[in-house]
Amino acid sequence: MNSATLDPTDALLIRRLHGDFPLGDAPYAEVAQQLGLSESEVLARLQRLLDDGVLSRFGPLFQIERAGGQFVLAAMAVPEERFDAVAEQLNALSEVAHNYRREHALNMWFVVACASPAQARATCERIETMTGLRVFAFPKEKEYFVELRLPL
């Protein structure tokens, strides 16, 4: 499924869930009532959108540093013939939020999320050991809030 095949109710649900998520005891029931749906239908539609890849993620964003943790943007120069294998290795690590390809000498970029700066450093070192490739780590220095809302 892609955005071109979203039914009108899916599109309405996505628009409603993008920002201003209710913070009550039954947020999905509240959204369901607003949209004229049942809570179970809202949950089923949301799960289908995630399963089909229409949504890649649904959940809160945390400022991990306030809890003592650290996000690190990292990059590696991965030989083209190893790119898919290295991506698979990174995807297997719970500390790696996601990775992506860039047209650059550092062609694989990824985000490391850990409970402490020491764990983030250790994870980058472990990635270097498992891949044999140097990890260039760029810890977050400043928080910016950019709310991007794209029309459906």
Do 45 and 72 have their domain in common?
Answer: no
Read off the pLDDT of residues 105-149 as tens digits, 9 standing for 90 and up: 999 999 999 999 999 999 999 999 999 999 999 988 877 777 766
The answer as to whether 148 is a domain residue is: no
The answer as to whether 58 is a domain residue is: no
Question: Percent helix, strand and coil across the chain, each rounded to 5?
Answer: 45, 15, 40
- The tally of domains found in the chain comes to 2
Do 122 and 76 have their domain in common?
Answer: yes
Do 124 and 75 have their domain in common?
Answer: yes
Residue 21: which domain range? 3-51
Read off the pLDDT of residues 38-50 as tens digits, 9 standing for 90 and up: 999 999 999 999 8
- Tell me how far apart the alpha carbons of residues 35 and 7 are, in angstroms, rounded to a whole number: 14
